[in-house]
Structure 1
């Protein structure tokens, strides 16, 4: 089974200035972390506060999911960083 993203949830981490989202490979949950700089590179007009980054993430969601699918390799790793 390929990596799927049935859950549209995402979460902002102010300490790390990043957005987390989750994918699933069968029953395994895979965590993806997208740093604020990456989101800004996709949406240069986005602000740097939580609301702005989450909004920019939502607007770029399909592109970020595509990047996540390319990074993902089935195996023991369950955490990926997109930067």
Structure 2
């Protein structure tokens, strides 16, 4: 099976400074976390609020899902934190 992202939901966790979203590998739910640093680069460098971070996530969703799929394929864990280095 491969990872799929049928649920477009995402949420911001201010204390951990990341965006959380879910993927599914068959019947298994995989939790992904995107570090805020990823969302404050380039055109989103002024991002500083929950709304800004979620907007940046939505704009980068395809790229984030591509990276999440690649990282998941190499790690196969139930919880994965996507770091800036994963996007290089």
User: TM (normalized to structure 2)?
Assistant: 0.85
CA root-mean-square deviation: 1.8
Give me the whole-angstrom Cα distance separating, in 1, the residues matched to 2:54 and 2:60: 10
Per-residue deviation, 1:48: 1.6
SS state of the match for residue 31, structure 2?
A: strand
* Alpha-carbon separation, structure 1, partners of 2:69 and 2:61: 12
Structure 2 residue runs without a partner (length 5+)? 84-88
Instruction: Classify 1:58/1:46 alpha carbon distance in 2 versus 1 (closer, same or farther; 3 Å).
Output: farther
How many residue pairs get aligned? The number is 83
Contact 1:11 1:20 in 2 (8 A): yes
In the TM superposition, what are the counterparts of 1:4-83 in structure 2 within 5 Å? 4-41=4-41, 43-73=43-73, 77-83=77-83
Distance 1:33 1:74 in 2: 16
Identify, as 1 or 2, the structure richer in helix: 2
3-state SS of paired residue (1:47)? coil
Cα distance in 2, alignment partners of residues 17 and 54 from structure 1: 12
8 A Cα contact 2:44 2:56, kept in partner:
no
